[in-house]
Structure 1
Amino acid sequence: MTPPAHARAVIIGGGVIGCSVAYHLTKLGWKDVVLLERKRLTSGTTWHAAGLIAQLRASANMTRLAKYSQELYGALEEETGVATGFRRVGSMTVALTEARREEILRQASMARAFGVEAEPIGPGEVKFRHPLIEGADVLAGVYLAKDGQGDPANIALAMARGAKQRGAEIFENVKAVSVTREGRRVTGVDWEMAGERGRIACDHVVNCAGMWGREVGRMLGVNVPLQACEHFYIVSEPIDNLEQLPVLRVPDECAYYKVDAGKLMLGAFEPVAKPWALDGLPEDFEFDQIQEDFDHFEPILEAAVARVPALGRAGIHTFFNGPESFTPDNAYHLGLAPEAENVWVAAGFNSIGIQSAGGAGMALAEWMETGEKPFDLGDVDIARMHPFQGNRTYLALRATESLGLLYADHFPLRQKASARGVRRSPFHHQLLERGAVMGEIAGWERANWFAASGEPREYRHSWGRENWFENAAAEHRAVREGVGLYDMSSFGKIRVEGPDAESFLNHVAGAEMAVPAGKIVYTQFLNARGGIEADVTITRLSETAYLVVTPAATRLADETRLRRLAGERRVAITDMTAAEGVLAVMGPRARDLMRAVSPDDFSNAAHPFGWAREIEIGMGLARAHRVSYVGELGWELYVSADMAGHVFETLIEAGARFDLKLCGLHMMNNCRIEKAFRHFGHDITSEDHVLEAGLGFAVKTAKSEFIGRDAVLRKREAGLGRRMLQFRLNDPEPILHHNEPILRDGRVVGYLSSGAYGHTLGAAVGLGYVPSEGESAEALLASSYEIEIAGRLFAARAALKPFYDPTGERMRG
C-alpha cells in the first residue's frame, strides 16, 4: 500500500506528537490525514521516554495542556483498546536548599491558582510517602497526588489507532524527502519507500519529526531550532517487595526516580549536557541508543545511591543513553511557521513530550481548524524563534546549558550563560565600559542594571532581593527625580510603507491610523475575539509610511502577522530594527538635558506628548519620540546606527551637568509596573480581551471595520467578566514576580500576571485579573485582598488606576 495522491494534512513523524496531531485532527472531522514515518512508529525518542506525566507547568495554559493530556490518556484504552499504562501514582519534589524550598513552595501556591492539587509537606511526610529516600538533609517537599506515569510507546500507538479508526492513513518506512512549493505554500510532499517514490499533494504539512525537526524544517523552508542531546538513565535489577511509589524528583541532585515493574529507574538532567550528532543524525537510527558514558553520569549516580540506598544494593540492570531534542529556551515549538502559510510545527519537547503530547496535539489541531490560536500559546509559539536561533553553532552551545536548566533553580530573572553576544546594540561597548551588566532576550544583549565601580558585574540570583536590588533602586530614583538614560535599541522596528499603509493599519490595529505625520499612536493588534495579539506604538512618518515599534521578543511574530494580513494590499513591510539605535532620556530633568544637546524647541507647545519629529543633536540627527514606558517626562531618540556612538557621547558629556544616570531595563520594568503599564506576554495576551485589560481607550470603534471590532462592541454591551487590578503589598519586604495567587475575601480568584518592586511606592507591586461579572468598580475595590507567596499571605491594596501618578501628568508635563 502506498500513500495517496492527495491529503488535507501530511504529518511528518510518527512519535507520540505526530500520532497526537493525527488523532486530534481526525477528532475534529478531518478525514484525509496522512502520517509518514521514516522508520517505525515511536522509533525515535518516544520508545525510550520515561513516561512521567505531570500536571503543573510554569504557566496557566501550559498546565492546562498537561492536565488535558492526563485526562486523555486515562480514557484512550476504552476508546481504542490499546492499554496506555496510565496510572496516577503521584509525584513529589524535594528541596535540599533554602532557595529550592522557596521555589517549590512558590510552585505549590501557583498550583492552587491553576487548579492543581499540590500539598506542601515536611521532611517526615516526605519519608512516609517515599520510604526509600534518605532524607536527613531534606528541607521540604511538595506532593501532587494526581500526577502519573504511563507507557510512552503505547500512548502513541493508542492515539495512532484512534486516528486510523476515524480515517487517517499511517505509513511506516516511508520517508519525506522533498517538497514542492508555490510562493509561501507547500503544495506537495515527495516520499520514498523501498526504492519507490511518489508525491502527495497537500493543503497542510505538519513537522512532528522530533530530533529530526530542524532538518525537516529546512526541507520545508522553515526554521525549527532544536538540538539532540544525550539523555541518561539507569534501571535497577528487580527489588524484592518494591511497591508502587510516587515519582520522586530531587532537582538539587539533578535526578528523578520512578518505580516500574518492580524495578527502580534513575534519570538525570546533568548541569553540563552533551549535544549529540552535531554533524547530522544517523540515517539508520531506529529504536537505537548511544554509546554509554559512565564517567559523565557517575557524579549523579554516586549522589543517587546515597539518596536512595536500595538503588545501590540492587545493582544496575540497564544503563541507557538515548537522544532527545532540546530548544534554546526549553519550551517546545508549536504553531504555524513564520516563513510559510501552511507549514505547522510540533517538535522540540525537551523531555516532556509524553506529558505534553495530548494537549499540544489538541491545541495545534484546533489552531489548524480555525486559523486562530484556541488560547494563548505564546510560551511555545514557533514564531518566538528568530532566524539566527537555527544556527548549528548557537544550538550546540545553548543545548549544553538548556538541558541542565530543567532541574536548575528557576529564578524568574535567571540569565542564560551560553551562546551569548549574538546581537548587540550600537551602544553595547559604551555601556559595558560604564558598568553595564547584560541580560539577553531574543539574542539581544541588553543592559539590565549598572554595577558601581569595583562591584562585581554578575547576577547572584535569589527569590528575594537580589544583589542588583539597590542598584536598580538608585536608577529608579534617577528617573523619578532627575534624569536617566537607557538603551531601547532591541525593541522591534517595523516599517509599513505604501499607498495602502493607512487603510491596512486601520484594519489591523484598534486605534485610528488616519492621523497627521509625526503623531504616535498607542494601540493593539486584536484577534476576532478581541484578544490582544500585539501591543505596539505606531508613528506616522509620512503620508505613506508608518513605524511600528514592538517588544524585542515578539518582533518576528508581529511582523509575520502583518505580512499575513497584508494580502494584496499595496504595502511594503520591512524590519528596521538593526538600522537605528534608540536611547531613552527620561525624568523631570529630561527637557533640560535635551536643550543642552540640541538647538530645537522641546517645550510642550513645540513638542507635545505623543508626537515625533526630526531634531539636531550634537553634530548629528535623530528622530525624537515623546512617549514614555516609565511614566515620566522624556524622549526616545531614534538614531541611525552610524551616528549612534556620537549621540551617546554627546548625551553623556552634557549629562554630567544634570547628574545623568545610566539605567538598565530592570529599572524600566519596576517603573512601568508602578504606572500599571501592561507588559505583553504577561499582562496581556491573545486571550485577554482588550476591554478587560483596561485598554479600551486605545480602541476606536467609531472608525471603519477592523479586526476585533465586533468583539469589542459585544463586550461593551454584555459587560466585563473580569478586570485587571493593580496590587500593592502593605508589607514592604516581600518580592513579587508573577503567578502568585490573588485572594479576594479569603478565596483564590486569580493570580498575578506580573510583579516587580515599586521603589517609589515602597513595596512590591503586581497586576492581575479578578472576576467582576455584574459588579461595579466600587464593589470590586471594597473587598479585602491578599497575595500568596510560597504559602504565606500578605495583605494588599487594590486599584483600577495606577498608584503612581494616576492622571499621567508627569509624562505630559
Structure 2
Amino acid sequence: MNDLPNKARVVIIGGGVIGCSVAYHLAKLGWQDVVLLERKQLTSGTTWHAAGLIGQLRASSNMTKLARYSAELYHGLEGETGVSTGLRQCGSISVALTDERREELFRSAAMARAFGVPAEELTPAEVKQRYEHLNLDGVTGGIWLPTDGQADPANIALALAKGARQNGALIKERIKVTGMSKQGRRVTGVDWVSDDGEQQGHIEADMVVNCAGMWGREVGKMAGTNVPLHACEHFYIVTEAIPGLSQMPVLRVPDECAYYKEDAGKILLGAFEPNAKPWGMEGISERFEFDQLPEDFDHFEPILEAACERMPMLAEAGIHTFFNGPESFTPDDAYHLGQAPEMDNVWVAAGFNSIGIQSAGGAGMALAQWMDAGEKPFDLGDVDVSRMHPFQGNQHYLYERSKETLGLLYADHFPYRQKATARGVRRTPFHQQLLDQGAVMGETAGWERANWFADEGQKREYEYSWKRQNWFENSAAEHRAVRENVGMYDMSSFGKIRVEGPDAEPFLNYVCGANLSVPVGKIVYTQFLNAGGGIEADVTVTRLTETAYLVVTPSGTRLADQTWMMRNQGEFRVVLTDVTAGEGVLAVMGPRSRELLQKVSPNDFSNAVNPFGTAQEIELGMGLARVHRVTYVGELGWEIYVSSDMAGHVFETLSEAGQDMGLKLCGMHMMDSCRIEKGFRHFGHDITCEDHVIDAGLGFAVKTDKPDFIGRDAVLKRKETGPKTRMVQFKLTDPEPLLYHNEPLIRDGQIVGYISSGNYGHTLGAAIGMGYVPCEGESAADILGSTYEIDVMGTRVKAEASLKPMYDPKSERTKV
C-alpha cells in the first residue's frame, strides 16, 4: 500500500469501465503520474453486471462517433493487452409494435446512414428471417444494424486497466477517497484510506477526475461540484441453457420495454420499465462490492409475461438467474462528461444511464483529449456536465426524476416529448397568468415554459406523434399572429448575466467576436469563439451603463456561458452575476407591436428614438421597464424586461390593451417555427463549438479590426481560404412531410450531411431545415446549382436550397 505516491498529475476516482478508460487514454497520450483509486475492486460497482450491449447508433453524430470508437477500441484491446473483451459483432434488431414506433425506427435508420452507420429497414417477414424465434404478432417493422454486438463488460474494464498499466498508470484497489483539499477554484489533493482502515494518506493532485459512478454525486460534493445522478434498480433474468440455441443478434422490443441477448446458449432478458425503482436513498453501504439487490418478481413480472408471448421458447426455459443491480441515471438520460463548472481542475465522467459499456471507450478518449489540449476535441454539448444547473443536484428532485429516466431509454422518442416527473421547480413571474390563459407547459433546464396555448375546451396536454401533433394548428395560429398582427410570449427563462466593472468593455471585446465599444443602450448580437473559430455561445449583449452590460443566453446554457467568461476573465476587473430570476421578460412581436406599446407607455418607440438594436428605459402602465428592440422571430418587436415585482402588473396592462387588437399569447413552438423561416441559427443544433463562425454564415457578427479577441486568427484564416462548409436553409417541395433534425441531406444523389434543425414554416407552407453542405473551393452559385433531397423515413423528398433567409431576406420587416 505504501507505493502510493505523494503527488500525481491526475487522480482518477473510480475503477469501473469509465475510470479505466480515462486512465488508459491519458496514459496512451503519454501522461505520467496517472493514479486511479478504486474503493473496492475494479468493476465492483455496476460494470460487472452490465449486459454488455454494444450499439453504435446514438441520437447525434458525435455521440455515434464515440460509440463507434468504443467498438473499434474493444476489437483491438485483446491483441494489445492479451485480455479478451468477448466482443462479438452479431448485429442487432429493433422491432416496432406500432406505426409510430415504426416511423421512429425508420427515421433512425435514415439517421444512421447520415452518420455512416450501416442500417436496413425490415418488414415483419424480414424480421422473422433474421430472428426466427420471434412471435410476429403485432410487429409492424424493424431495423437491422449489422455492426452492433455484445461483449464482456468486466473484461473490457480489465483490459483497459491493463493497457493503462502497460503505459505507466498506477491503479490501486481497496483505496477509498475520503475527502479533498481545495484552494479557491482548485482541488489541491485527495485524502485516502485503505479498505482495512490501517493506512491513510494524501496525494497532491494537479487534476481530479470523478468516475465514481453511482457514488458520483457524493464524490462531486467532496470536490465542491454538482454531479446530478441517482441509482435505480435494474432487472434482468438469465434462462437455463436452451438446446440448439446458437449465436443470435441482440434484439430490442422497446414497446415491451425489453431487450434480449444470447449468451452461451442462454437468453438474457432485460427490462427498462416505465416506472423505475430508485435505490440508495439512504446512501450506499460501505461494504457494497459486487452486490445484488433483493429480487422483486412482482415488479418484473409484466415484462416477463409479455416476453414469454413474444419469445415462446422463454415459456419453456427455466430461469437460471434473477438479477437486480443498481445503475445510475441522470436527469436527462445523457451522461456527464467534462470540466466541472464550479472548479477549474475537476473533471467528470459518470452517470452512464445503462449505456456505459458502449460509451466508455469513446467517452474516455474524448475526456482525455479535452484534458490534454485544454479544449473539447469536438462538440460534446449533449453530455457536457456544464448543462446541469445547480438545483438539479437536489436529492428529492433526482429521486422523482429517476423514476422516469430509466424507462425513457425504451419509451417512444417522440419529437417535443416532455418529461413528466420532477416538474414545476422553476417558474417565471408570469407562470400562473399563462396557465389561466390556456398555456401548455414544457420544461427546459427546470424552467416551466409555455410551449403552446390550448383553445377553449381543448385538452391541455400533448398527444405525441411523429406526424402533426394535436397542437400543430394552435402553433400555426400563433405563428400567423406574430407574422400578421401582434403576439406576446414569455422569455423570462433565457439566461441573463450581468458583466460589471471598470474593465467590462475590454473584457467583452476580448471574449466576444463583435465590437462592444458601443454607446449605452446599444444591443450587439455576437458569439463567444474558441481558438479555432468555433462557437462556444450565441448571445446578445446590451450596454446598460459605461461599466455594465447584460449578456442574454439560451436558458439551458446560462451556466456554461457564464463559466466560459469566468475562465477567460484573466486580469480583467469585472464581476459576473447571474440575474436571470431578477427580471421577467415578455416579447411583444409583430407588425402592430409598436402600436400596442404606444397604448401602454408614454415613451417614443419610433425608429428615430428606439431603432433596431437599441434599448431604452420606459414607463409601462404604472410601472417601469426596459425594452430591447431585437427579434428572434424576424418581425418588428420588443423584448420587455421588468423587475419581478412589477411583472404581474405589466402582463395585465399589456393583455388588457391588446384585447381590441387581437393580441395573441404564443409559445416556444411558435418562436422556433418563426426563427427557422428567418434562417436564424439554433445554438446546440445549428451552431456548436466545432462549427466555424464563418462556415455558419455569421461572419457579419465578427469584427476582425479589433486588435485581440479569442478566435481572431482562426477567423482571419478562414476568411482568406473561404468556408469549408456552408449553412444552407432548405424547404421541402412537398408540404406534407415534417423535419425535426438529423435527416440525411442528399446533394446530387449523394449523402453529404444531415439536417441540424427542422420545423414547419407556416408562412412558407412546408417543412424547413437547416444543414451544412461541404463546399471547399466552391462558390455560392456552385452550391445553389445542385439538386437537393432530404431523406424522411427512407423517402427522398426534393428540397429547395437558399443561402439567404427564405423569409424576408433583407430583414426589412424588423426595421420598419
The TM-score with structure 1 as length reference comes to: 1.00
**Counterpart Cα distance in 1 of 2:114 and 2:479:** 31
Q: Which AA in structure 1 matches 2:76?
A: A
Partner of 1:737: 740
Deviations 1:415-436 (A, max 9, x none): 0100000000000000000000
Moved more, 65-74 or 129-138: 129-138
Matched, 1:94 2:130: no
Matched, 1:279 2:282: yes
SS at match of 2:370: helix
Matched, 1:504 2:524: no
Q: Which AA in structure 1 matches 2:246?
A: E
Partner of 2:16: 15
Shift of residue 136 of structure 1? 2.8
Shift of residue 121 of structure 1? 1.1
SS at match of 2:645: coil
SS at match of 1:231: strand
- In structure 2, list runs of 5 or more residues that go unmatched: none
- Superposed, 1:307-326 pairs within 5 Å as 307-326=310-329
Q: Which AA in structure 2 matches 1:87?
A: R
**Counterpart Cα distance in 1 of 2:660 and 2:601:** 15
**Counterpart Cα distance in 2 of 1:190 and 1:413:** 45
Please point out which of 630, 635, 638 is paired with 1:635: 638
Q: Which AA in structure 1 matches 2:539?
A: V
- Superposed, 1:52-71 pairs within 5 Å as 52-71=53-72
**Counterpart Cα distance in 2 of 1:310 and 1:380:** 39
Partner of 1:776: 779
Partner of 1:581: 584
**Counterpart Cα distance in 2 of 1:761 and 1:123:** 38
Deviations 1:552-590 (A, max 9, x none): 000000011111111232100000000000000000000
Moved more, 231-240 or 310-319: 310-319
Partner of 2:255: 252
Matched, 1:412 2:415: yes
Partner of 1:619: 622
**Counterpart Cα distance in 2 of 1:171 and 1:748:** 48
Partner of 1:131: 132
Matched, 1:31 2:32: yes
- Superposed, 1:108-507 pairs within 5 Å as 108-193=109-194, 194-195=196-197, 196-507=199-510
Deviations 1:123-177 (A, max 9, x none): 1111111111111321111001010110000000000000001110011000000
SS at match of 2:215: helix
Shift of residue 606 of structure 1? 1.0
**Counterpart Cα distance in 2 of 1:746 and 1:463:** 26
**Counterpart Cα distance in 2 of 1:28 and 1:507:** 32
**Counterpart Cα distance in 1 of 2:284 and 2:814:** 56
**Counterpart Cα distance in 2 of 1:281 and 1:229:** 12
Partner of 1:46: 47
Deviations 1:508-553 (A, max 9, x none): 0000010001000000000001000000000000110000000000
SS at match of 1:439: strand
SS at match of 2:568: helix
Partner of 1:678: 681
Please point out which of 602, 607, 611 is paired with 1:608: 611
Shift of residue 719 of structure 1? 1.6
Shift of residue 14 of structure 1? 0.1
Deviations 1:207-250 (A, max 9, x none): 00000000111111100000000000000000111110000000
**Counterpart Cα distance in 1 of 2:259 and 2:754:** 29
**Counterpart Cα distance in 2 of 1:7 and 1:772:** 46
Shift of residue 471 of structure 1? 0.2
Deviations 1:777-796 (A, max 9, x none): 01110111111111011111
**Counterpart Cα distance in 2 of 1:92 and 1:57:** 15
Deviations 1:331-366 (A, max 9, x none): 000000010000000000000000000000000000
Partner of 1:103: 104
**Counterpart Cα distance in 2 of 1:237 and 1:161:** 33
Q: Which AA in structure 2 matches 1:162?
A: G
Partner of 2:518: 515
Shift of residue 717 of structure 1? 1.2
**Counterpart Cα distance in 2 of 1:565 and 1:807:** 36
Shift of residue 720 of structure 1? 1.1
SS at match of 1:566: coil
**Counterpart Cα distance in 1 of 2:569 and 2:725:** 33
Partner of 1:569: 572
**Counterpart Cα distance in 2 of 1:312 and 1:8:** 55
Q: Which AA in structure 1 matches 2:129?
A: F
SS at match of 1:525: strand
Please point out which of 702, 712, 726 is paired with 2:729: 726
- Superposed, 1:747-762 pairs within 5 Å as 747-762=750-765
**Counterpart Cα distance in 1 of 2:291 and 2:132:** 35
Deviations 1:637-668 (A, max 9, x none): 00000000000000000001211000001000
**Counterpart Cα distance in 2 of 1:736 and 1:569:** 45
- In structure 1, list runs of 5 or more residues that go unmatched: none
**Counterpart Cα distance in 2 of 1:516 and 1:45:** 57
**Counterpart Cα distance in 1 of 2:233 and 2:757:** 35
**Counterpart Cα distance in 2 of 1:128 and 1:31:** 52
Matched, 1:547 2:554: no
Q: Between the two proteins, what is the percent identity of the paired residues?
A: 72
**Counterpart Cα distance in 2 of 1:720 and 1:584:** 35
**Counterpart Cα distance in 2 of 1:436 and 1:141:** 37
SS at match of 2:545: coil
Partner of 2:534: 531
Partner of 2:5: 4
Shift of residue 453 of structure 1? 1.1
Shift of residue 22 of structure 1? 0.1
Partner of 1:809: 812
Moved more, 329-338 or 712-721: 712-721
